[in-house]
Amino acid sequence: MLIIAAIVLCAGASAYAQNTGVRYKWHDGQGLVHFSDSLTTEAMKYGYELVNDRGLVVQRVSRQLNAQERAAANKLAAEQAAKDRAIQERADADAQMLSAYPDEESYQISLQQALDTFDQQINTTRINLRSQEKALTDLLGRAADIENGKEAVPKALVDNIARQRNVVASLRGTLQRQQAARAQSVQQQAQLMAHYREVKAVQDKQRSDD
């Protein structure tokens, strides 16, 4: 794309020179000044100026880029294009958000629904955990009764207790992760609400200005 643009620019400059009688001026690799009535390969390589009959520069054309410079220019162009896309995507998302939630109350309701889902999951895990903890307590009680009777606790009971301990530990870990996820969601929602208010304020101002 850069090469095509350079060709188009050079063609335009050449046509302009032919129509107005200006000359080409450029500096070579040693810094020496050159003038020509036609566009040369060297002028395109080092960049040139179009000079009118009074010696005034009417147009400047940059030198051709080498492979490394073209690669760097293309990289910068790609990065800028990615930034532009991200900005546009954010603008589209903001517009969609305002369309779906025209006021703060409706947006707050949607955020609360996400927290309600977390609360339901946490409550279910807590109920299950209490049930499994009770089962573990019962197993431990049976083992204690056997030991109090001066008898050896059967291996099957020992294995059941070990498995039940793992179940309880797993549920406790699940509960901790769910609670942490909810806390993180609360923080994220605060940021989302702040962003919503900012975008809504801009929209309200634009409407008032109109």
Q: Rounded to whole angstroms, how far apart are CA atoms 158 and 142?
A: 10
- Write out pLDDT tens, residues 36-54: 888 888 888 888 999 998 8
Query: Do residues 2 and 70 make contact, with C-beta atoms less than 8 angstroms apart?
Result: yes
The pLDDT assigned to 3 comes to 44
Residue 16 pLDDT more than 80? no
Average pLDDT of the residues in 189-193: 96
The pLDDT assigned to 141 comes to 96
Q: How far is CA 27 from CA 32, 36, 69, 201, in A?
A: 5, 12, 20, 55
Average pLDDT of the residues in 149-154: 92
Residue 105 pLDDT more than 70? yes
The phi, psi pair for 135, rounded to 5°, reads -65, -40
Average pLDDT of the residues in 8-30: 63
Rounded CA Rg of the chain? 37
The pLDDT assigned to 20 comes to 52
H or E, element range at 57: strand 57-61
Which is more confidently placed, 111 or 2? 111
Query: Do residues 143 and 157 make contact, with C-beta atoms less than 8 angstroms apart?
Result: yes
Instruction: Bin 35: left if φ > 0, else alpha if -120 < ψ < 50, else beta.
Output: beta
Which is more confidently placed, 61 or 140? 140
Q: What residues are paired with 57 via a beta bridge? A: 51
Residue 76 has which token pair? Answer: 């910068």
Rounded percentage of the chain residues whose pLDDT exceeds 70: 90
The pLDDT assigned to 30 comes to 86
Residue 210 pLDDT more than 80? no
Residue 167 pLDDT more than 90? yes
Residue 163 pLDDT more than 50? yes
Q: Where are the domains of the chain?
A: 2-64, 103-209
